[in-house]
Amino acid sequence: MKGFLRTAAVSLPVHLGDVNANETEILIAMENLRMEGVQLAVFPELCLCGATLGDLLRQPLVTEACQAALLRIAEKTGEMCVVIGLPMARDGRLYNCAAVLQNGRIMGIVPKKHPGSALQDDRWFCPGEGLTMPPMPPHMAQNMPPMGAGLTFRLGDTVFAVTFGNELKTAAHAALNGADVIVCLDAVNALAGSHRMRRAALEVESASHHAGYVYACAGFGESTADLVFDGWTAVAEQGKVLAEGTRFALTGSKAVADVDIERLRFKRMQDDAFRQAKRPHHHPVMPAIALGEAAPAALPLLRPIDPMPFLPQGDHADARMQEIIDIQTTALMTRLKAIWCKDIVIGISGGLDSTMALLIAARAFDGLDLPRSGIHAITMPGMGTGKRTKSNADRLMEALRVHAMEIDIKPAVYQHFADIGQNENLHDTTYENCQARERTQILMDYANKVNGIVLGTGDMSEAALGFCTYNGDHMSMYNPNCTVPKTLMRGLVKYLSENCFGGDVQPVCADILDTPVSPELLPNITGELTQRTEDILGDYALHDFFLYHQQSSGASPEKLRMLATQAFSGVYGEDVINKQLSTFIRKFYTQQFKRNCVPDGPKVGTVGLSPRGDWQMPSDLVASLWKAEL
């Protein structure tokens, strides 16, 4: 699949000293991996003979058996690239090596730069640092593979480098030299508590270098005289473990995942520190290796694809929610303190976004020891205001003990219709936008009256789609919600109401969360909700999904479609995804003029649309490239 590399880390049961048995295990595993569409497979350090052979590693019988087995394995590789660990003797020296095999050939040999770990392998192996292409033994001369520390390999469009466990943190050089994926062979013993640090190191290294990591450690079958090996395998990308195998498994361990190469390169282009870092001594990249299809088209991507990427989940979800809320609250407190402001004005609709902004305002005023009476919350019922949202707005303001006001906008709007010659029975864009701008005028002027600022309520999903009235709800003096998408907003309001307020606030927020999102701008005779935003735009879950992957990895429309089809399998059909993706592309690439003049507001996550740093693009863009892919 375009832009992805299917990788596998495999740890097999070791037959200590029995090279032929290990060869058989590897060949069987390779055949199974081939059927899964794997393109790059990695086996552990010294897996051909065993990492705990001790002084037997020096015996020619062992090294020659390993080299002969390596040639036979290479013949069976086909298009799949395989990396295997083995000892290799050169010029009276022994090296701990990783061999890269593909298309019946040995493409290159990478020696371990710095032997010396729990295995104390510096007792047998010489350092590979600085070693470059020494002579090969006669029976391998027909292959003439290059040998050297720091070699990198091109697999199709992907560049990968080979390293060993104790060199994991030195892989930055390979990443700076263009390696998209770091292959890591290891034979480290298990200790209580050490696995947590190893896993964390893999996450940190893959995030800091914007690289994929494929890690395979020696496991069951190694000698347990003094040490035990857990056989852990993992594939990590951009700070996240995509797949991992079982530790201490008698039958071996396997982790298979699709690494998003396009995303990693996009992240590197975004990262100023990475782009400006001086490239180390450049090692040669071996010629391109042919690359077939990653997998049959029917196979899904082998990687977790979260349908709600903005929403914190798992064990640390509450901590993440609290951190986001603290960022928003601190941002507002800082702005109020900086401008010596003790009053804010906010329009309350009884909807999700204004509820979130009001809750943040209440926390900020509490943090500054300011009376909540300085929060001037104004409801402005108009032609489409529903009974439920109006009731919830009133109940919320009462529960939070803020200064509540109601200003009916209908007389002013009808007067404005008369002034500009708008037919009040024509429910068009003018009809709707006049209401939004009237509300903004009230808020701005009242803010002047109380010497305060208008607090914005609009969210990032609306900014992405341009679903706001220019110089209406589009404008404020500060907006704590500006980088919070709709799918995250729901989680934050729920968390805030249950954990930070409680009391009478919680049941009101629960009903607000249960109310469909609506602009409430069309006439409403019954008082019931008749206008639903998601009937107009489509579900925010899909729009937020598209926004996240477009902004975090530069995903093209075709890639967005593929990811969404898998992430929302069983939820949305292809026709719904295609229709909504078309809406997203059309609106996102035509609404930059609204994003170019947005108020200040805090960034809470990795994705933002502020023109002052996060997202810059011309308003006059011709989006034919993106539309054509649809």
3-state secondary structure of 26: helix
Phi and psi torsions of 488, nearest 5°: -80, -35
Residue 36 has pLDDT above 90, yes or no: yes
Confidence of residue 516 (pLDDT cuts 50, 70, 90): confident
pLDDT of residue 91: 84
Q: How confident is the model at residue 295 (pLDDT cuts 50, 70, 90)?
A: very low
How confident is the model over 390-419, as a mean pLDDT?
A: 96
Check residue 582 and give its pLDDT. 95
pTM: 0.88
* pLDDT attached to residue 147: 87
> Quick one: how far is CA 395 from the chain centroid?
38
Amino acid symbol at 468 = C
What is the C-alpha separation between 216 and 9, in angstroms, rounded? 5
Q: What is the pLDDT, as a whole number, of residue 629?
A: 80
- CA 370/CA 432 separation, integer angstroms: 36
**Assigned token pair, 200:** 């964390």
Does residue 140 register a pLDDT over 70?
Answer: no
Predicted pLDDT at 283? 56
* pLDDT band for position 300 (cuts 50, 70, 90): confident
- Res 521: pLDDT: 57
Q: How many CB atoms lie within 10 A of CB 142?
A: 9
Give the count of beta carbons closer than 10 Å to the beta carbon of residue 113.
18
The CATH architecture to which 317-629 belongs is: 3-Layer(aba) Sandwich (3.40)
Element of type H or E holding 389: helix 387-400
Q: Are strands 285-289 and 181-186 parallel, antiparallel or unpaired?
A: unpaired
pLDDT confidence of residue 534: 74
Asked if pLDDT for residue 537 goes beyond 90, the answer is no
Q: What's the pLDDT at 397? A: 97
Q: State yes or no: pLDDT of 290 exceeds 70.
A: no
Name the helix (H) or strand (E) containing 332.
helix 317-338
Quick one: tokens of 430?
């003018």
The answer to whether residue 18 scores a pLDDT higher than 70 is yes
| 317-629 shares the fold of 4-289 | no
Mean pLDDT (the chain, rounded): 90
| 293, pLDDT greater than 50 | no
Round to whole Å and give the CA distance between 520 and 437.
14
Q: Report pLDDT digits (tens) over 78-126.
A: 999 999 999 999 888 999 999 999 999 999 999 998 887 666 777 888 8
The answer for residues whose C-beta is within 8 angstroms of residue 369's C-beta and 6 or more apart is none
Q: Is the dihedral of CA 348, 349, 354, 358 positive or negative?
A: positive
Q: What pLDDT digit, counting tens, does each position of 157-211 carry?
A: 899 999 998 887 777 888 888 899 999 999 999 999 899 999 999 999 999 999 9
Instruction: Give the model's pLDDT for residue 298.
Output: 46
Contact by Cβ (8 Å): 119, 51:
yes
Contact (CB, 8 A) for 186 and 218: yes
What band does 522 get if pLDDT is binned at 50, 70 and 90? low
pLDDT value of residue 315: 87
Per-residue pLDDT at 195: 94
Q: State the pLDDT at residue 317.
A: 93
Name every residue whose Cβ is closer than 8 Å to that of residue 475 and which is 6 or more positions away in sequence. Answer: 440, 456, 599
Check pLDDT > 70 for residue 144. Answer: no
For 473-498, write each residue's pLDDT tens digit: 999 999 999 999 999 999 999 999 99
Q: 609 is written with which tokens?
A: 């649309």
Distance between CA atoms of residues 630 and 624, nearest Å: 10
Specify the CATH superfamily of domain 4-289.
Answer: Carbon-nitrogen hydrolase (3.60.110.10)
Tabulate helix, strand, coil % of the chain (nearest 5).
40, 15, 40
Rounded Cα–Cα distance for residues 164 and 82 (Å): 15
Task: Concatenate the DSSP letters of all residues of 403-443 into one string.
Answer: EEEE---HHHHHHHHHHHT--TT--SHHHHHHHHHHHHHHH
Decide if pLDDT at 410 tops 50. Answer: yes
Mean pLDDT calculated for residue range 565-577: 94
**pLDDT at 141 > cutoff 50:** no
All structural domains of the chain with their residue ranges = 4-289, 317-629
Predicted pLDDT at 528: 59
At residue 250, the 3 state secondary structure works out as coil
Is 623 a residue whose pLDDT tops 80?
yes
Query: CA-based diameter of the chain, in Å?
Result: 99
Residue that wins the pLDDT comparison between 47 and 223: 47
* pLDDT of 247: 95
